[in-house]
Chain A
Amino acid sequence: MKVVVCVKQIPDPADPGALDPESKTLKRDTKLILDESDSYGVEMALQLVDTAGEGSVHLVSMAPNNEVGGLRTALAMGAESATLVSDDALKGTDALGTAKVLAAAIARSEPDLVLAATESSDGYTGTVPEMVAELMGLPSVTFAKSIAIEGGTAKVQRQTEAGYDDVECPLPALVSVTAGVVEPRYPSFKGIMAAKSKPVDEVTCGDLGIDAGSVGWAGGGQEIVSIADAPAREAGEVIEDEGDAHERIVSFLEELKVL
């Protein structure tokens, strides 16, 4: 069984960097790490291959500056190989453009199963996996809390607000994995050493047959007109308990429509 996991490499959230007023985008001079959201997909893929007793896990990532820091972490966890798409033409690529690139890169390894996170930690549009599925003509299952492979079928427990749905679909398929549903392993010392010699195939848009005009700022159809500081958080309301605090909290929550 061949599983491809989409892994996004993001700036370290503990050291988030800053927006560049010139380009109005994130300054991308810091090194990138594996998005924690994707560590669950990697773990799940490794477990699936383990259970199957055969197969391999392959990673696909799109990132600027030939950055491989996050890929190395996932390789050290146990993935076998990776494809990195890095190309100056990808500057400013929106979610759809990203999906086009990922779809082309994934298709090259003809996987049985593609995993992604439901949303990334930094961009969190939460749309890329579904668009990749559409572009590749694969069934798309979202919010997986567990996946089992039986024959040519993926059996997925799909998380819902009330609990979960049992969903089945034929393979190959694309499944997005909810954060926190498995405990990602830490890369071991041996894993890190082994990862050094695992292949990372670095490709460009050209290699994937993608027209540079269909991605990046050119293909995105988006423009960032201005950036501004987020409004400071307003002071909360302090409720002194005069016997009715619980009622006031309930009505506050009702106002928010969370009750």
Chain B
Amino acid sequence: MTTYRSPVDEIRHTLRHVADLESVSALAGFEHSDQATVDGLLEEAGRFFDEVFAPLNRDGDLVGSVRNDDGSVTTPPGFVDAYRRYVEAGWSTVGAPVEHGGGGFPWLVNLALQDMMTAANFSFSLCPILTQGAIDALLHFGTEQQKETYLRKMVTGEWTGTMNLTEPEAGSDVGALTAKAVPADDGSWRISGQKIYISWGEHDLAENIIHLVLARTPDSPPGTKGISLFLVPKYLVNDDGSLGERNDVHSVSLEHKMGLKASPTCVMAYGDQGGAVGWLVGEERAGMRAMFAMMNNARLSVGLEGVSLAERAYQQALAFAQERRQGRAAGAEPGESSPIVDHPDVQRMLLEMRSGIAAMRGLCYRNAAAIDHARFAATEEERTAADQMAALLTPLSKSWSTDLGCELTSLGIQIHGGMGYIEETGAAQHFRDARITPIYEGTNGIQAIDLVGRKVPMEGGAVIRRHLAAMRATATRAADDPALSGAAAHLHGALDALAVTTDWLLEDGADPARRLPGASNYLEMLAVTTGAEILLAAALSDGGEDPAILARFFAANRLARVPGMAAGVTEIGPELAAGRSRLLAAP
């Protein structure tokens, strides 16, 4: 098996030529995140993840996390030590605010580190990423005292965090959840109910776990309007900060999964012994608002998982293709077999991977930069524009990067031939791991609904039109470059198609029955076009050979299909309706 190496050069390139790190580090408060400093961080963090996290990935898959009879969970060999070193090195603190012990770096830089961590060990990465989500919620909505008590140790990683939304009857429909919270005399609450699929709900990496739990308070209205957010620590925290009593929250079982095996996915029982002690975070019945506030970040993190897993699969597939000999490629000596990387179809698969990864990475990083600008740009106007751009890009990052992540990790298997299907090579792990990413953190179907229902209609369509116009400008610039003019023509073509479908969505599609059938297809059209525009813009900015090759290949191979996808947005609705009553009817 090949050793994974963090793609520091690609990441640096994306930061510079796609996400415009320079403009992010020019924002007030980010002066310390200049290119040289960020380079230093990338290199050392990359080395750390390559050497400490990556070697545990395989055993993590083979051994997995295991639940013991007493309800405790044991992580795979090496995880405890690696996590201790991660905490010691302080990598979890980079993006957190300075006043809570963080490094105060832009989200963009944090995402770049996350990219390397996730590729090195996906299962592992979920633990810090969920903690980050919980930190985010507390930063936005926690009381001063909650921040004081919990944030610092969560920022260092000494304590980890979880997100508890899902219940057996409440998956995509969060509003259906039934977990209960009743007030106690002392201002705290007693939480009871069952949560399922809770990632890192129980484990042995940290001394305390801070659960954020959605539950219903007495007399709440049904649906999402009646949901509140609670903080429930595994161990109650004494006034002096030391750990006190064990709280009434336990993992009752672990799921057996297709992949992501080292990440314990727990069924959590709250209040079996009378009620878990919890505290309200934010206002009562404002739980969904809290979720929305952290949603962009969390969804972007999951989108990035598609990128990172595809990167890991790509490195392995490339190394395999250079070693494995089979058949004779054109031009090879007679009697000699060629490495399969010399066969055009294998080259095509590898370039699909490489260009797809570059496009997805660009999309996610640009999304992160928009989040930074939305928070710290100088004027209200700039902040609003950036916030809208982040809102528009987030469902694209989440959905497209995870769908393509599955496709490309599958292609990684294909490049291995039969060996790819044999677990021994480890190629299959990346595909099995990637398969969760289109499902959790809002299924990709839900993302598409969000895009056509909420994001495209923002400001009466002005936001999406602004995005299309910016891409048009790139196409026009690229058309003047002889090396890129062909790709620019494809981009113009895709934008023409998008202009028509977008108008259709905004007018005819105002009726959900008309816009929902093609929502996922529209999302893919927009994402592929955005990815292609990113590669073109990067090629223009970099001026080098390699980025131009990637941009041209992606344009011919994928972008050129976009106009043909428009029918899938506007024409399939009636067929779905007809199919539902005939083909999809119960026999």
Contacts and interface: CB of A to CB of B under 8 A. Distances in A.
Interface string B27-41: 000001000010011
Given A188-B88, A189-B45, A192-B44, 15 more contacts: A14-B5, A72-B40, A76-B40, A186-B44, A186-B47, A187-B44, A188-B89, A189-B41, A189-B91, A189-B103, A190-B90, A192-B37, A193-B32, A193-B103, A196-B37
Interface residues of A, number: 13
Interface string A188-221: 1110110110000000000000000000000000
Contacts of A73: 44
B103 A186 contact: no
B52 A186 contact: yes
Contacts of B47: 186
A72 B32 CA distance: 17
B132 interface: no
21 contacts: A72-B40, A76-B40, A186-B44, A186-B47, A186-B48, A186-B51, A186-B52, A186-B85, A186-B89, A187-B44, A187-B89, A189-B45, A189-B90, A189-B93, A189-B103, A192-B37, A192-B41, A192-B44, A193-B32, A193-B37, A196-B40
A193 B94 CA distance: 11
B317 to A, nearest CB: 19
Contacts of B51: 186
Given A14-B5, A193-B103, A188 B90 contact: yes
Interface of B: 5, 32, 37, 40-41, 44-45, 47-48, 51-52, 85, 88-91, 93-94, 103
A189 B87 CA distance: 10
Contacts of A186: 44, 47-48, 51-52, 85, 89
Nearest to B105: A189
Contacts of B32: 193
B89 A189 contact: yes
A186 B46 CA distance: 11
Interface string A5-18: 00000000010000
Contacts of B88: 188
B36 to A, nearest CB: 8
B315 to A, nearest CB: 12
Interface string A112-131: 00000000000000000000
A187 B93 CA distance: 14
A187 B47 CA distance: 10
Contacts of B93: 189
A53 B89 CA distance: 22
A68 B51 CA distance: 23
A72 B37 CA distance: 11
A187 B90 CA distance: 10
B39 to A, nearest CB: 9
- Among B5, B32, B90, B94, residue most surrounded by chain A Cβ atoms (within 10 Å): B90
Nearest to B90: A189
B323 to A, nearest CB: 16
Interchain residue pairs A-B with the least CB separation, the first 7: A189-B90, A188-B89, A187-B44, A188-B90, A186-B48, A192-B40, A186-B89
A167 to B, nearest CB: 32
A189 B47 CA distance: 13
Contacts of B40: 72, 76, 192, 195-196
A131 to B, nearest CB: 31
Interface in A144-196: 186-190, 192-193, 195-196
Contacts of B37: 192-193, 196
Nearest to B85: A186
A130 B51 CA distance: 32
B95 to A, nearest CB: 11
A193 B91 CA distance: 12
Nearest to B89: A188
Nearest to B34: A196
B44 A76 contact: yes
B393 to A, nearest CB: 28
